Structure 1
Amino acid sequence: MTSLITTSAEAAHSLAVSLLSKAQIQPGATIPEHSVKESAPDVLVPLKFSGRNVIVGVPGAFSGTCTVQIPGYIQNYDRFKAKGVNEVYVVAVNDAFTMKAWKEKLAPTGTGVRFMADDKGTFTSALGLMFDATPKFGAPRSKRYVIIADGDKAESLFIEEDPSKVTITDAETVLSHLA
């Protein structure tokens, strides 16, 4: 009986993840406006993009691969700015406390890179970039992606086939695509 309940719960969870995600955003598409959290769990920050921005989506703060990937964005922040990027955002389906602590761990002396908590996954779901990460994270999470945005339009999109790897979403690769 327990295995039947477990199997049913897993199937329902998988269905919920698929229903959460819309069609995956494509280059040229409008990036939906959503509010996320940055430094406090009770303060919503609207994600309204103007100018050129880089949005880096990661499966989980403090996870091994994410913690290796994001320092490249912190170290190259001035290079992104020199290429005309207004903001570099790191977005994860984590709470504001976790994202703030992760930022402080990765950049103890500060950084212009903004760490955004999409705690309910609404922004990530609207982009169609959620996946069922239950085996590792216990819940749906963000795929590993980068969007180069021009205003509210997705100019370029890089999505890792395997979210446990960084092959096309590292800072150097993204910098090479900025004119």
Structure 2
Amino acid sequence: MTSLISTSAEAAHSLAVSLLSKAQIQPGAIIPEHSVKETAPDTVVPLKFHGKNVIVGVPGAFSGTCTVQIPGYIQNYDRFKAKSVNEVYVVAVNDVFAMKAWKEHLAPAGTSVRFMADDKGAFTSALGLMFDATPKFGAPRSKRYVIIAENDKVESIFIEEDPSKVTITGAETVLSHLT
């Protein structure tokens, strides 16, 4: 009985991901406006991009690979600014409490990198960047990606084939693509 319930739950998660996600966003596409949370569960922040921005999507706050990847963005924030980047956003399908705690854990002295909670996955789904992470995270999560955007238009997008690895979405690699 437990196996049947488990199999049914996994099938439901896979179906939910396929229903939530649309085609992956591509260079030249407009990033759809969605609201996320940054500081409190009852305060939404519309993601409106002005100028050049870097959006880093990760599967989960406090997960091993994500916790290794994001310090590069924190440490290189001034280098991103020197390349005319207005904001660096870290987005995960997590609640605002997890994102705030993760930010404080990674940058106890503070950082200008913005940690955004896409708690319902609406922004990530609109980008077509959800995947079924049920085996590791228990629910659908964000693929590991980086979008370089000019205003609300995708200039470049880098998506890891294996979300457990950082090969093309590390800060140094992304910096090399900025002019």
Q: TM-score range by the shorter chain?
A: over 0.9
Q: 1:19: how far off?
A: 0.7
1:19 aligns with 2:19: yes
Percent identity (aligned)? 89
String of CA shifts for 1:145-171, please: whole Å, max 9, x gaps.
Answer: 000000000000000000000000000
**Equivalent runs, 1:5-44 vs 2, <5 Å:** 5-44=5-44
| 2:79 partner letter | R
Cα distance in 2 between the residues matched to 1:108 and 1:5: 42
Q: Which moved more, 1:130-139 or 1:12-21?
A: 12-21
| 2:151 partner letter | G
| 1:94 partner letter | N
Residue equivalent to 2:47? 47
Residue equivalent to 1:105? 105
Check conservation: 2:124, 2:142, Cα contact below 8 A. yes
Cα distance in 1 between the residues matched to 2:114 and 2:108: 14
Cα distance in 2 between the residues matched to 1:39 and 1:23: 30
Residue equivalent to 1:67? 67
String of CA shifts for 1:67-88, please: whole Å, max 9, x gaps.
Answer: 0000000000000000000000
Check conservation: 2:35, 2:44, Cα contact below 8 A. yes
Cα distance in 1 between the residues matched to 2:136 and 2:6: 17
Q: 1:7: how far off?
A: 2.0
What is the SS of the residue equivalent to 1:54? Answer: strand
| 2:68 partner letter | V
- Work out the number of aligned pairs and report it: 179
What is the SS of the residue equivalent to 1:56? Answer: strand
What is the SS of the residue equivalent to 2:167? Answer: coil
Q: 1:138: how far off?
A: 0.4
1:120 aligns with 2:127: no
Q: 1:63: how far off?
A: 0.5
Residue equivalent to 2:137? 137
Give the TM-score taking structure 2 as reference length: 0.98
Check conservation: 2:10, 2:134, Cα contact below 8 A. no
**Hey, which bits of structure 1, 4+ residues long, moved more than 3 A?**
none
Give the TM-score taking structure 1 as reference length: 0.98
Structure 2 unaligned regions, length at least 5: none
Structure 1 unaligned regions, length at least 5: none
Aligned-residue Cα RMSD (Å) equals 0.8
Residue equivalent to 1:161? 161
Cα distance in 2 between the residues matched to 1:8 and 1:176: 45
